[in-house]
């Protein structure tokens, strides 16, 4: 397949790509499609570094098409709109997350659940409707179909809002599914205090729940409680703490990026509790049957969120003033950021200052 040789690909873009599974990011000039009738063009301001980007550049899941331009936590400003686009105008502050296209016709697309369309295409490492490979937000400009673009509320800063586009909606969607958005007073657990986990804590607190962080990092306890507002903290490698936590939680969100057993986490759930799994380790995770059957517990997965949910989540974050705790970096620091992310050394999300607007 010609990656960038289509005649319709007329716009030259400066970006950053990995060319092989060494995962090393280097500057990369490429072409994007013309701004079509349903498209908007966006000057990218900021792009978050999701752990998924690391999985992709390293080819952890065996599905990477190189060169890969990662990035699906994008905020920016609209510079051009296609003739069919009525809901956005030049100058609007917008965000783009994981989704670039879906079939628009199946039951999921028709019911605002296009994230479960079986023809879903992603912002990067996807195949767009024109047959070309999609390139993500580690780049100075993006062309996106307007149906996969949301508004960033005026009160949210563009840098700290960027990770909401993936991390935010990925935890918001299962929370909504588990009735946590409208019904306060539940006991909620968050496993893994990283990019996804720290937003989950902030949201669950804003929605009025008692929040327990389950973490491998004792060093995160003080911050989790004092800065993020967590009520309780369990070190998952401490058997005594895990014992004390048994049967205490209504819902647990598991955001862990590495292989681990779900057994001890399931034990933390009350009878009938739900474990919503969003972390995506490259190898199967252990799911022992006893904690499931002795507690009538359920495990379910969740894949980012729909566009409707993404806008709802942005608006809810605007209302509650929820943003991400970010470490801003310049594009030439992406490789260092990847190294630190791989070592679990980030509080709590790296965001690339693509447009060079912040003092760094």
Q: Catalog residues that contact ligand NAP under the rule CB under 6 A.
A: 50-52, 55, 166-167, 170, 192-197, 215-217, 220, 255-258, 260, 278-280, 302-304, 341, 344
CB of 102 to ligand NAP, least distance (A): 15
Q: Which of Zn ion, ligand NAP, none interacts with 306 (beta carbon under 5 to 8 A by kind)?
A: none
Nearer to ligand NAP, 187 or 260 (CB): 260
| 206 in Cβ contact with 189 (< 8 Å) | no
Q: Does the N-terminal peptide bond of residue 67 adopt cis geometry, omega within 30 degrees of 0?
A: yes
Determine the 3-state secondary structure of 115 from DSSP: helix
CB of 183 to ligand NAP, least distance (A): 23
Tell whether residue 156 is a contact of Zn ion (CB under 5 A): no
CA 358, CA 11: separation in Å to the nearest integer? 26
Question: Which of 49, 149, 166, 316 touches Zn ion (CB under 5 A)?
Answer: 166
Residue 219: CB partners within 8 Å, gap ≥ 6? none
Question: Which of 50, 109, 175, 252 touches Zn ion (CB under 5 A)?
Answer: 50
CA 31, CA 130: separation in Å to the nearest integer? 14
Measured from each CB, the residue nearest to ligand NAP is 194
| 305 in Cβ contact with 169 (< 8 Å) | yes
CA angle 327, 21, 285 (to 5 degrees): 75
**Full DSSP string of 24-46:** -EEEEEEEE----TTEEEEEEEE
Nearer to ligand NAP, 81 or 200 (CB): 200
Nearer to ligand NAP, 63 or 293 (CB): 63
Nearer to ligand NAP, 32 or 220 (CB): 220
> Taking contact as CB under 5 A, which single stretch among the options 26-34, 45-53, 103-111, 142-150 is the one that binds Zn ion?
45-53
CB of 199 to Zn ion, least distance (A): 11
CA 12, CA 207: separation in Å to the nearest integer? 44
Nearer to ligand NAP, 21 or 79 (CB): 21
Q: Pairing mode, if any, of strands 25-32 and 39-48?
A: unpaired
Tell whether residue 52 is a contact of Zn ion (CB under 5 A): yes
Determine the 3-state secondary structure of 232 from DSSP: strand
Which letter does DSSP use for residue 100 in this model? E
Total residues binding Zn ion (CB under 5 A): 3
Interface residues with Zn ion (CB under 5 A)?
Answer: 50, 52, 166
């Amino acid at each position: 397949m010609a990656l960038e040789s289509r005649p319709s690909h007329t716009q030259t873009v400066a970006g950053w790509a990995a060319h092989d599974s060494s995962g090393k990011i280097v500057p990369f000039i490429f072409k994007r499609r013309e701004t079509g009738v349903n498209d908007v063009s966006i000057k990218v301001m900021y792009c978050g570094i999701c752990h998924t980007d690391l999985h992709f550049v390293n080819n952890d899941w065996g599905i990477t098409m190189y060169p890969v331009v990662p990035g699906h936590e994008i905020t920016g400003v609209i510079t051009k709109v296609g003739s069919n686009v009525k809901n956005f105008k030049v100058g609007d502050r917008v965000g783009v997350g994981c989704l670039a296209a879906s079939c628009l016709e199946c039951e999921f697309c028709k019911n605002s659940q296009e994230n479960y369309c079986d023809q879903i295409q992603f912002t990067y490492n996807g195949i767009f409707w024109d047959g070309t490979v999609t390139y993500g937000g580690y780049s100075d400009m993006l062309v996106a179909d307007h149906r996969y673009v949301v508004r960033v509320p005026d009160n949210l800063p563009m840098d700290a809002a960027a990770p909401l586009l993936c991390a935010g909606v990925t935890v918001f969607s299962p929370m909504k599914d588990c009735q946590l958005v409208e019904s306060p007073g539940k006991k909620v657990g968050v496993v893994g205090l990283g990019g996804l986990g720290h937003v989950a804590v902030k949201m669950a607190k804003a929605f009025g729940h008692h929040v327990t962080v389950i973490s491998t990092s004792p060093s995160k306890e003080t911050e989790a409680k004092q800065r993020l507002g967590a009520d309780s903290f369990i070190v998952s490698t401490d058997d005594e703490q895990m014992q004390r936590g048994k049967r205490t939680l209504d819902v647990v969100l598991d955001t862990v990026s590495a292989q681990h057993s779900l057994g001890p986490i399931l034990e933390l759930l009350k009878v009938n509790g739900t474990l919503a799994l969003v972390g995506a380790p490259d190898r199967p995770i252990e799911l022992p049957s006893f904690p499931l059957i002795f507690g009538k517990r359920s495990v379910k997965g969740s894949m980012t969120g729909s566009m409707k949910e993404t806008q709802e989540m942005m608006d809810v974050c605007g209302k509650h003033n929820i943003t991400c705790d970010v470490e801003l970096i310049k594009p030439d620091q992406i490789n260092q950021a990847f190294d630190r992310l791989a070592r679990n050394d980030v509080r709590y999300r790296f965001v690339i200052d693509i447009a060079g607007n912040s003092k760094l």
